[in-house]
A and B are shown apart, each in its own frame.
Chain A
Amino acid sequence: MQTVDTKNQPLLEVRDLRQWFELRKFVFSRAGYVKAVDGVSFSLPRGEALALVGESGSGKTTLARTVLGLYKPTSGDVIFEGLSLSTLKHREMRKYRSDLGYVQQDPYGALPPFMSLNTILTEPMIINGVRDKSEQDRRIREVLEEVKLTPADDFINKFPHQLSGGQQQRAVIARAMVLRPKLIAADEPVSMLDASVRVEILRLLRRIQEEHTLAVIYITHDLSTVRYFSERIFIMYAAKTVEKAPVESLLEHHFHPYTTALLAAIPDPDPENAKKFRDVPAGEPPSLVHPPSGCRFHPRCPEAIEGLCDVKEPPEFEPLPGHTAECWLYQ
């Protein structure tokens, strides 16, 4: 592997990434593609938390899984520490994966029920060449300490079903952390948990992120948690990132009509809510097999410009420095 100057370059760069899944009819003939991610570019510096927000089927999980190297991209490139993923050989790919952690949505489903925490946490180390028993043990204790499953001795021999939901999610985070990754992808890490535990887990993730200057890709459909737990936010709609901005900037000025709709749809606990109707566009997200021509939001958009939005796909405009929107209103 070549060494490059890693000081100023972003940890991760994604260039015009497309991830299409083939649809087949009668096994052999092609019936088209599900365009799950369709032209996404961004770069992620070390230590930054990036939130991907979108509805189900908007491609946020696929994007994360492609970055994790679980899918081979249809086109475009993922560049991690200056190396393109597509050029990595088998062994380098393994090294790459050890730099990544993955926190799944459903902690109980993500932990093998027949393994004790000790085995679950040892496994990634065996695969990635941490063979020394005392080193393994030291790291397990360290990581359990970090996710506050303490005293470690009480937990080390427990099985997943003996833990509460919050503890299970801590165990999943511990597993993601045990190889000391540089990037963690957290896919709806708290959506299966109760409200009172959610904040606890998100805070834990945040603290770990800051202590280890980790980059985090935080996937969620819950825009209201984002403001507390990330620096930048991407709004995804129908396989595209329609708006990218620093969190505070997005909450102050939202440019894309879809973002506006999303923000309008989210209630804060307030008795006034019951007295008024919410101003949200009707309809559903489009099919990703045959997405609408032009801007994908135009059939639902209250501000669509006829003859433009339904014909030409909008490029990225930058109405504020560092704040971009794929919308013709800002050309």
Chain B
Amino acid sequence: MAEKLLQIRDLYLYFRTMRGVVKAVDGVNLDMNRDDALAVIGESGCGKTSLIRAILRLLPRNVHTYKGSVVLLDTDIMKLSEERFRTNVRWRRMSMVAQAAMNALNPVIRVGDQVCEPLVVHQGLSKRDALAQAAEVFHLVGVPTDFLNRYAFELSGGMRQRAILAMALVTRPDLVVLDEPTSALDMLTQANIMNVLKGIKKDLQQSFIFITHDVATTSEISDRGVVMYAGQIVEISSAEQFYLNPFHPYSQKLMASVPTLKVKKELEFIPGQPPSLLNPPVGCRFAERCHRRFDMCDQEPPMFTLEDGRQVKCWLYK
């Protein structure tokens, strides 16, 4: 066990815009083992979607800077040519469930044909074999296999989301990235989908990166919590550490703002707004809103690794 699956070093992704350069991902380091489920948590605009776009090399045209290294098992996928990356890595070894992807199914192609497409395109399987494998995965995610012959509009939201999940799993990739996989779904459907994900993780030892702003939902599946703020990772800790006792002041405040159903607690909010990524402040980026700010915070804190394995980007833990 504990095989290194993914190593991200000094990853930067900047975008060119009319108003200047947006530093969406600004020096990210992240390690991940096989059979690990990572929850990347952050508010909108903190760069979490950009981070996975950088990992999967799904870049828009206005990229300003894109550098660093992303090592998947033993290949540095940043060094591969676009064509090699497309044929060997994307969807074959890493796949993705995009935000609101259930609405992105092609309405005029049967669901089954769409789900088995990655197999035909990336692995050169015949249509029949591909469909057989798709049926297997459909079974896994809890969609009746006769749905393979249906069109997207004949499926409910929850079923469509499962079909999309099947599409991401059909090539049995090393890593599946889920971008807000349940945010457009109803509570019961969401719980059902989370059950499916838990089952897949348990049975197939599938590794996940799970991106969301909904802290409570991430606790359903994550082994580790990764908190992003203003383009940077500010805390990485295990699920036990993170959900019960986060260390970074931002994580603490974020956790305190999550309403809980079972116990009544005093809800808090974070005053102010996250800084602009056009021109992020020098020093700690959270300092302006931080309740524990002190002199040191004018300089940018490095990532401190604590004895229990936590990583926190905050001077308090020097």
Contacts and interface: CB of A to CB of B under 8 A. Distances in A.
Interface of A: 55-56, 164-166, 194-200, 203, 221-225, 227-228, 251, 261-271, 273-274, 277-278, 280-282, 284-285
Contacts of B267: 199, 203, 228
A251 B273 CA distance: 33
B243 A203 contact: no
Interface in B202-224: 213-223
A273 B217 CA distance: 9
A261 B216 contact: no
27 contacts: A165-B44, A166-B273, A196-B254, A197-B270, A199-B267, A199-B269, A203-B269, A221-B187, A223-B187, A228-B267, A262-B188, A264-B191, A265-B188, A267-B191, A268-B261, A268-B262, A269-B255, A271-B240, A271-B242, A271-B244, A273-B220, A274-B221, A274-B239, A278-B191, A278-B220, A280-B192, A284-B159
A282 B223 CA distance: 26
B40 to A, nearest CB: 14
Contact of A227 (B187, B190, B220, B259): B259
B220 A274 contact: yes
A251 B261 contact: yes
Contacts of B270: 196-197
B231 interface: no
B198 interface: yes
B259 A267 contact: no
Contact of B260 (A224, A261, A278): A224
A195 B257 contact: yes
A251 B262 CA distance: 8
B181 interface: no
Given A227-B259, A266-B187, A278 B194 contact: yes
A198 B187 contact: no
Contacts of A197: 269-270
B246 to A, nearest CB: 10
B195 interface: yes
Given A199-B257, A228-B259, A277-B195, 17 more contacts: A165-B44, A194-B44, A197-B269, A223-B261, A227-B261, A227-B264, A228-B267, A251-B261, A267-B219, A268-B260, A268-B263, A270-B244, A273-B220, A274-B223, A278-B194, A278-B220, A281-B188
B269 A267 contact: no
Interface residues of B, number: 53
A195 to B, nearest CB: 5
B235 to A, nearest CB: 14
Given A199-B269, A224-B261, A267 B220 contact: yes
Contacts of A270: 219, 243-244
Contacts of A251: 261
A246 to B, nearest CB: 14
Contacts of A56: 186
A195 B194 CA distance: 20
B43 interface: yes
A265 B198 CA distance: 14
A55 to B, nearest CB: 4
B187 A262 contact: yes
Contacts of A277: 195, 198-199
Contacts of A285: 186
B156 interface: yes
Given A194-B213, A274-B222, A265 B258 contact: no
Interface in B40-71: 43-44
B253 interface: yes
Contact of A225 (B187, B259, B273): B259
Interface in B261-295: 261-264, 267-271, 273
Given A196-B270, A198-B257, A271 B243 contact: yes
Contacts of A280: 188, 191-192, 195
B220 A198 contact: no
Contacts of B186: 55-56, 221, 285
B198 A195 contact: no
A277 B267 CA distance: 28
The 6 A-B residue pairs with the shortest CB-CB distance, nearest first, are A265-B191, A55-B186, A196-B270, A271-B239, A200-B269, A194-B43
A269 B261 contact: no
A280 B194 CA distance: 11
B219 A199 contact: no
Interface in B168-211: 186-192, 194-195, 198-199
B118 interface: no
B249 interface: no
Contacts of A198: 257, 269
A254 to B, nearest CB: 11
Contacts of A263: 261
Nearest to A58: B186
Contact of A267 (B156, B216, B253): B216
Contacts of A55: 186-189
